[in-house]
Structure 1
Amino acid sequence: MENKNFAIIIASACIGVCIVISSIIFAFSISSLSENQRTVQVKGLSEREVAANAVIWPIVYKDAGNDLTSLYGSIDSKNLIIKNFLIENGISESEISIAAPNVTDRSAEMYGPEKAAFRFYASAILTVSTDKVDLVRSLITKISSIGKNNISFSSDEYQNQIEYKYTKLNDIKNEMVEEATKNARATAQKFADDSESSLGKIKTASQGQFSINNRDNYTPYIKIVRVVSSIEYFIKD
């Protein structure tokens, strides 16, 4: 009987010791896990100022008349004058497209002006699409010289604004991603240094989309390319 009680006591003691040891190991494991899960989230920016390398230039003018056939003839003549001006100044014929004119019959408009000067009003457009950005910029100021041919240019239509583009993103994309990543790491390293910790490996990382915007409203031919990388690092004491 005494031997049986002694065995029970020994077994209970062993179980107790095992529980204590397991608790200690578990506590250390939780502590280690907690330390490994300390992180810092940072963002890194890369920005470039670049010149537009492509341009779309809509050249819009107005015309009017009372005879539709004569009006179309006038538009054809003016299109040819504008086209010749562009070609003579360095624009290739393949870079010029001519759209069908938009003609309005004022007599058919129910709510139009009662006494319009002309029955037919037309809006015509030629579009230059080229990589000769500097040339186009110079021609924008010169094209008014052919206004003496009774060509009334229109430049205030919102839907026909000149558009400058930057199409060489692939040439700088890798460098910008690398720079954004370095800037993010520098920020994380500063945080680690200030908190007397050491910077660990990357836990998660994501790259934002590239954006290309005008530098300002006055120089749309100069673009700002931006990308932001978001990175989460482990922090260790």
Structure 2
Amino acid sequence: MKTNANSIIIAVAIILSAYLFSNAFQNRNQSNDTISVTGLGKKDFTSDLIVWSGSFSKKSFTLKEAYASLDADRAKIKNYLSSKGIADSEIVFSAVSFNKDFETTYNENGTLKQQLFTGFTLTQNVTIQSKEVNKIEDISRQSSELINSGIEFYSNAPEYYYTKLAELKIQMIAEATKDANIRAKSIAENAGAGLGNLKKSDMGVFQITGQNSSEDFSYGGSFNTFSKNKTANITVKLVYQVD
């Protein structure tokens, strides 16, 4: 009888332990039920800073003559830009770079015959940075006037920037977070559950592309500088507890 009683006690203990373990496991899973959502923040904006640059060159047999010719062209370029209403503080000339030029000739068998010195080529860059975006944009399109005046001027495409990017990013994070919260509430309500506390949040990559363009987002974030009108995008991932 004593053996049977001990067997019954052991059996009951095993069943009770199994029940308690099962119940604890179920409660643990319930406490870890979460909803993961991604919200989007998107904003169109117009650049408020333009950077336009170009380069000009002169070649002469002597370094002194090349420098004198380059100085004359630099003065003409500065006068031209000033006549267009660009302030001196917005015009920056770089240091002058120069190359020694050689004409190389070869023998009939392809071996080097001689290198003949043909002169020096001097090059200088000029950069204009201004908040008068439309004005500088128009001037960049008229830069052929410098070429017509005899200056060997090469114009680069303008680059466009936005000086209030930090403030814009904060606004977009708030917008993306609000969007994610609305999505999470909708999912919880449709599932007949309640939305609990926020457990985790992650911010995605900040992307800037041209408006109405087919530019692809990049893993490290894209930063368009060749479009005046841009679109910024950012995502925020939120993980909520489910009640």
Q: TM-score range by the shorter chain?
A: 0.7 to 0.9
Asked whether 1:147 is paired with 2:147, we answer yes
Map residues 79-90 of structure 1 onto 2, 5 A cutoff: 79-90=74-85
Q: Which amino acid aligns with 1:77?
A: A
Asked whether 1:166 is paired with 2:162, we answer yes
In structure 1, the partner of 2:51 is: 56
- CA apart distance, 1:77: 1.2
Map residues 65-84 of structure 1 onto 2, 5 A cutoff: 65-84=60-79
C-alpha separation between the residues in 2 aligned to 1:71 and 1:59? 19
Q: Is residue 57–residue 70 contact of structure 2 (8 Å, CA) maintained in 1?
A: no
Q: RMSD value over aligned CA atoms?
A: 3.4
C-alpha separation between the residues in 2 aligned to 1:235 and 1:150? 74
- CA apart distance, 1:161: 4.8
Q: Which amino acid aligns with 1:128?
A: I
Q: Once structures 1 and 2 are overlaid, which stretch shifts more, 27-36 or 221-230?
A: 27-36
User: Structure 1 vs Structure 2: percent identity of aligned residues?
Assistant: 25
Q: Which amino acid aligns with 1:127?
A: T
Map residues 171-186 of structure 1 onto 2, 5 A cutoff: 171-186=167-182
Map residues 65-144 of structure 1 onto 2, 5 A cutoff: 65-107=60-102, 119-144=119-144
Higher helix share: 1
Map residues 211-222 of structure 1 onto 2, 5 A cutoff: 211-215=207-211, 216=213, 220-222=227-229
Q: TM-score, normalised by structure 1?
A: 0.78
In structure 2, the partner of 1:228 is: 235
CA spacing shift, 1:109–1:132, aligned 2, 3 Å? farther
After superposition, give the CA deviation of every residue in 1:89-109 in whole Å (9 maximum; x if it has no partner): 222211111112322221387
Higher strand share: 2
Q: Which amino acid aligns with 1:222?
A: N
Asked whether 1:192 is paired with 2:192, we answer no
CA spacing shift, 1:130–1:110, aligned 2, 3 Å? farther
Q: Is residue 166–residue 223 contact of structure 1 (8 Å, CA) maintained in 2?
A: no
C-alpha separation between the residues in 1 aligned to 2:66 and 2:226? 37
Q: Which amino acid aligns with 2:181?
A: R
- CA apart distance, 1:17: 6.1
Residue-pair matches, total: 225
Q: TM-score, normalised by structure 2?
A: 0.76
Q: Specify the SS of the correspondent of 2:178.
A: helix
Q: Is residue 41–residue 231 contact of structure 1 (8 Å, CA) maintained in 2?
A: yes
CA spacing shift, 1:209–1:167, aligned 2, 3 Å? farther
Q: Is residue 140–residue 158 contact of structure 2 (8 Å, CA) maintained in 1?
A: no
